[in-house]
Amino acid sequence: MGKFCEICDKRAMSGHRISHSDRKANRRWSPNVQKVRVQVGGVPMRKNVCTRCLRSGNIERALPRATTVATEA
């Protein structure tokens, strides 16, 4: 499974690496994807999320596990 954002479906882009002599070689730009604990429907789960979605607030981050266990007890 490749690197992609599970929220906005951002995936790798392709293009050329261009040298000074104007030779073109294929290359890929991969998105900055982080594995984060996200709250989905009240249930915390791990998802691959790009940093754009993290900064814009498109997701609700889950509390750390130690915090959730301590509050329930």
Q: What is the pTM of this model?
A: 0.71
The number of distinct structural domains making up the chain is: 1
Query: In this predicted model, what pLDDT tens digit does every residue of 46-67 receive, in sequence order?
Result: 999 999 999 998 888 888 877 6
Which range of residues forms the domain containing residue 38? 13-63
Hey, how many other C-beta atoms are within 10 angstroms of the C-beta on 63? 13
Residue 72 domain flag = no
Task: For residue 28, give the amino acid letter.
Answer: R
Residue 1 domain flag = no
Report CA 13 to chain centroid distance, whole Å: 15
Residue 51 domain flag = yes
Tell me if 50 sits within 8 A of 10, measured CB to CB: yes
Q: Tell me, what CATH number does 20's domain have?
A: 2.30.170
Residue 54 domain flag = yes
Is it the case that residue 30 has pLDDT exceeding 80? Answer: yes
